[in-house]
């Protein structure tokens, strides 16, 4: 009997709602339409280094559409080209890419679908150049991947952040306070911009527009003079003052992208309280934005991206990532994706819409 072609699925980087929906779509289409055998690699690129995987049958992916996280596990530190070995002072990095490629050969993997952000897909591009047949699927709450207008996970994160903003609104009003909501997004302001507009933030601060604290304080005072005795500030974790630095929460030495951002909302809160004399509280949305069930939008997008990835596999169009351009599903070379994050352009339509309804961007 002819051996079935074998597909491996890997999920890498930070998790987000919708990954399981992609795993389901890829696996079902591979089994039903393409007569393939599917294996799931455990814990991102760790699994490829350590040879940890499991077979994915139809029933293994049935019932996971609505489930948050990833059933395969993930890792933000495992990079086969710079694999962390040892800990603390003994930490060093080894290039284990040959081992990974040999493991894939031994597993008789014909091709791979990598679901990840720019880091994971950058590594996928390196593996592709080293001869591995790969298709990428863009995943992140940050929405910062080149080659696609939207990533799955973003809509869910924005929905959760917006609910947070809605909830602080009422308490801000009751106490006549400034409430600051810090949201994720890494170096990009997409989550802050969208949740800020959706939640009616009075001031939205994004990394792409460094802020002046005096401008923010003036806006808060002006609102007070007009009888609006509270203000809502939505700040991206990667935002920074003009001429100043980002707030670093921790350094993860083993990670290729070692800096974890966080805490800028508290710094701004202290400054605003001092300048305006108004009570100020800061809320950090944090990993709440990455957990739980995907929104309907993300379930649909994840399903479409997953099945489109399998169309590329069928056509043997490797070294590509699937994406969304306007309303169209497209494919873009991983080479472009590997060029780094996609930031909010300063002429973005949503920035001007927000300015038109009186939103302040702190500059």
Mark the segment that binds ligand F6P (CB under 6 A) among 2-10, 123-131, 140-148, 316-324: 140-148
Q: Is residue 122 a contact partner of residue 335, using CB atoms and an 8 Å limit?
A: no
CB of 328 to ligand F6P, least distance (A): 25
| CA 280 from centroid of its chain's CA atoms | 29
Nearer to ligand F6P (CB atom), residue 17 or residue 323: 17
At 122, give phi and psi (nearest 5°).
-65, -40
Q: Which of residues 270-329 bind ligand F6P (CB under 6 A)?
A: 290
Nearer to ligand F6P (CB atom), residue 46 or residue 76: 76
Count of alpha carbons within 13 Å of 252, Cβ hemisphere only?
13
Mark the segment that binds ligand F6P (CB under 6 A) among 57-65, 137-145, 317-325, 355-363: 137-145
Interaxial angle between packed helices 213-225 and 264-276, expressed in degrees from 0 to 180 and rounded to the nearest 10: 50
Q: Decide if residue 186 touches ligand F6P (CB under 6 A).
A: yes
Q: Which of 8, 9, 184, 236 binds ligand F6P (CB under 6 A)?
A: 184
Q: Is residue 233 a contact partner of residue 216, using CB atoms and an 8 Å limit?
A: yes
What residues are annotated to the active site? 142
Q: Decide if residue 142 touches ligand F6P (CB under 6 A).
A: yes
Strand order in the sheet with 6-11: 53-56, 37-41, 6-11, 111-116, 134-138, 320-325, 328-333
Q: Which two tokens mark 206?
A: 């994004």
Q: Is residue 166 a contact partner of residue 225, using CB atoms and an 8 Å limit?
A: no
Mark the segment that binds ligand F6P (CB under 6 A) among 134-142, 160-168, 272-280, 307-315: 134-142
Q: Which of residues 101-120 bind ligand F6P (CB under 6 A)?
A: 117
CB of 141 to ligand F6P, least distance (A): 6
Q: Decide if residue 141 touches ligand F6P (CB under 6 A).
A: yes
Q: Decide if residue 24 touches ligand F6P (CB under 6 A).
A: no
Q: Which two tokens mark 136?
A: 């990428």
Count of residues interacting with ligand F6P (CB under 6 A): 13
CB of 137 to ligand F6P, least distance (A): 15
Q: Decide if residue 260 touches ligand F6P (CB under 6 A).
A: yes
Q: What does each C-alpha distance from 294 to 4, 70, 116, 164, 192 come to in angstroms?
A: 32, 12, 16, 16, 19
Q: Decide if residue 140 touches ligand F6P (CB under 6 A).
A: yes
Q: Which of 26, 203, 261, 334 binds ligand F6P (CB under 6 A)?
A: 261
Which residue in 72, 78, 68, 87 sits closest to 27, CA to CA? 72
Q: Decide if residue 14 touches ligand F6P (CB under 6 A).
A: yes
Q: Decide if residue 76 touches ligand F6P (CB under 6 A).
A: yes
Please report, for the chain, how many H helices and E strands are present, in that order: 11, 15
Q: Is residue 13 a contact partner of residue 119, using CB atoms and an 8 Å limit?
A: yes
Q: Which two tokens mark 359?
A: 């939103």
Q: Decide if residue 146 touches ligand F6P (CB under 6 A).
A: no
Nearer to ligand F6P (CB atom), residue 123 or residue 312: 123
Mark the segment that binds ligand F6P (CB under 6 A) among 60-68, 108-116, 183-191, 301-309: 183-191
Q: Decide if residue 29 touches ligand F6P (CB under 6 A).
A: no
- Dump the DSSP string for 58-124: GGGGTT-TT--S-TT---SS--GGGEEES-GGG-EEE--HHHHHHHHHHTT--EEEEEE-HHHHHHH
Q: Decide if residue 74 touches ligand F6P (CB under 6 A).
A: no
Give residues in contact with ligand F6P (CB under 6 A): 14, 76, 117, 140-142, 184-186, 237, 260-261, 290
């Amino acid at each position: 009997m002819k051996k079935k072609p074998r597909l491996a699925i890997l999920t890498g980087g930070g998790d987000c709602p919708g990954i399981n929906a992609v795993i389901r779509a890829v696996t079902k289409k591979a089994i039903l339409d393409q007569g393939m055998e599917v294996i799931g690699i455990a814990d991102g690129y760790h699994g490829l280094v350590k040879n940890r995987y499991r077979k994915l049958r139809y029933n293994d992916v049935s019932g996971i559409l609505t489930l948050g996280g990833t059933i395969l596990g993930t890792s933000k530190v495992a990079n086969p080209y710079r694999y962390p070995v040892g800990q603390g002072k003994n930490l060093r990095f080894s290039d284990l890419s040959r081992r990974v490629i040999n493991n894939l050969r031994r597993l008789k993997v014909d091709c791979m679908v990598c679901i990840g952000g720019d880091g994971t897909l950058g590594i996928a591009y390196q593996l592709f150049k080293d001869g591995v047949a790969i298709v990428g699927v863009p995943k992140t709450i940050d929405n910062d991947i080149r080659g696609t207008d939207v990533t799955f996970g973003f809509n869910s994160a924005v929905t959760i952040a917006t609910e947070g903003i809605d909830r602080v609104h009422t308490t801000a009003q009751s106490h006549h306070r400034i409430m600051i909501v810090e949201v994720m997004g890494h170096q990009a302001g997409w989550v802050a911009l969208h949740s800020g507009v959706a939640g009616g933030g009075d001031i939205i601060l994004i990394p792409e527009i460094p802020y002046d604290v005096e401008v923010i304080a003036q806006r808060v005072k002006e609102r007070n003079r007009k009888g609006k005795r509270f203000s809502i500030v939505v700040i991206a974790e990667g935002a920074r003052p003009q001429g100043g630095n980002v707030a670093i929460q921790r350094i993860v030495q083993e990670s290729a992208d070692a800096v974890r951002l966080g805490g800028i909302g508290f710094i701004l809160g202290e400054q605003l309280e001092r300048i305006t004399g108004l009570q100020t509280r800061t809320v950090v949305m944090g990993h709440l934005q990455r957990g739980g069930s995907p929104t309907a939008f993300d379930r649909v997008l994840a399903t479409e991206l997953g099945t489109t990835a399998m169309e590329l596999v069928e056509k043997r169009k490797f070294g590509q990532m699937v994406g969304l351009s306007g309303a169209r599903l497209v494919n873009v070379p991983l080479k472009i994706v590997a060029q780094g994050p996609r930031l909010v352009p300063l002429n973005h339509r949503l920035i001007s819409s927000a300015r038109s309804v009186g939103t302040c961007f702190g500059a």
